[in-house]
A = this chain, B = another copy of it.
Amino acid sequence: MIRIGLDIGGTGIQIGAVDQQNRIIAQDSIPTRTDLPFEQQVQLMTDCIYGLLDEKSNPELRMENVESIGAGIPGIADSDGVVIDCTNLGWKNVPLRKEFQKRINKPFYVDNDANVAALAESAAGKSAGTSSSVFITLGTGIGSGIIINGRVWKGFHGIGGELGHMILKLDGVRCSCGNRGCVETYTSATAIIRMAREAVADHPESLILSLAQGDPQRINAKLVFDAKKKGDPVAEEIFDRYISYLAQMIAGVVNFLDPEIVILGGGVSKAGDLLLDALRAEYPKYVLFNQLPLPRIEIAALGAEAGVIGAAMLS
């Protein structure tokens, strides 16, 4: 038996067939077409699935072997498979399950992409074998997925996992959600970029600005980390401040929920050991019972494929 996973993003959709060992055995992708009506977008996805099922290349790849189809979205869905809100795709209250099942009559599941990534990591990644974990994506925004007792916990009303919009600084920086001081405004890649742009305004001599070819609009998180590695003092100050914020946020997750392991994904996590070593040293300072064993912090093991594998695991 195989399962189909769709990783639906704002620019592209990854579609894969996954075997029972959670390995991708066939994969394809299509661009996200927000210019088309919702029904036609679903049609393109199901066309792609039919295209993937090529039993000549692999006898397993047949529709009758497909157990279920799952989709991860950068948004929120209810238990009836209705996408309540998915800003990047312009979806609001669209019946994704119903529309899929008109075309392929298989069990269909949809969940938030951070929950999906958390599930994939807990099956085939860094949290494999653990019963509780929190997966945090450090990207343009902050996403999170919670696993408790081996299952995704997305809340009683399905609105949990929005770690990015917990308040980390009362009356702090304005967030895209309209509130002030959300976790997202201090611990995302966007936060690093904001801090760097502010800093180079005062310190135009910083290596950050020359790496950005003199244009503050070209600054990104990787560039700040690169300048820090080369010893730029402005970049080092931003890095230390970012680590302090991130450590306080992660320590909050530990103080409140205390999972077995915390997994970091998303663009910022590509900084790898530079990020991990600093965080591991810093975060216990903010944990109340830090004399006891604490959750491990790790970088996600699965890369882009986590979205497809986790979506295929939905049930």
A residues apposed to B, CB below 8 Å: 76, 84-85, 130-132, 144, 146, 148-149, 153-163, 165-172, 177, 179, 181, 186, 245, 248-249, 251-260, 285-289, 291-295
Contacts and interface: CB of A to CB of B under 8 A. Distances in A.
A288 B248 CA distance: 21
Quick one: which of A149, A249, A256 has the most chain B CB within 10 A?
Answer: A256
Contacts of A167: 168, 248-249, 251-252, 286
Quick one: which of A146, A167, A245 has the most chain B CB within 10 A?
Answer: A167
List the 5 closest A-B pairs by CB distance, nearest first.
A155-B258, A160-B258, A166-B252, A156-B260, A162-B255
Contacts of A160: 254-258
A256 to B, nearest CB: 5
Interface of A is mostly: loop
Given A84-B289, A245-B170, A288-B177, A158 B255 contact: no
A257 B169 contact: no
Given A172-B170, A293-B157, A255 B288 contact: no
Given A167-B249, A168-B167, A292-B157, A179 B285 contact: yes
Nearest to A167: B248
A169 to B, nearest CB: 4
A292 B130 CA distance: 32
A288 B162 contact: yes
A84 B166 CA distance: 30
Given A76-B289, A167-B168, 16 more contacts: A76-B292, A130-B156, A132-B155, A148-B153, A155-B259, A157-B295, A159-B294, A160-B257, A165-B255, A165-B288, A167-B252, A169-B169, A169-B170, A169-B171, A179-B248, A179-B286
A149 B86 CA distance: 28
A154 B260 CA distance: 11
Contacts of A153: 148, 257
A258 B85 contact: no
Contacts of A130: 156
Nearest to A76: B289
B166 A256 contact: yes
Nearest to A172: B170
12 contacts: A85-B289, A132-B155, A146-B256, A156-B295, A157-B294, A160-B254, A162-B256, A165-B286, A166-B252, A166-B255, A167-B251, A169-B170
A41 to B, nearest CB: 22
Contacts of A260: 156-157
A154 B298 CA distance: 22
A163 to B, nearest CB: 5
A93 to B, nearest CB: 10
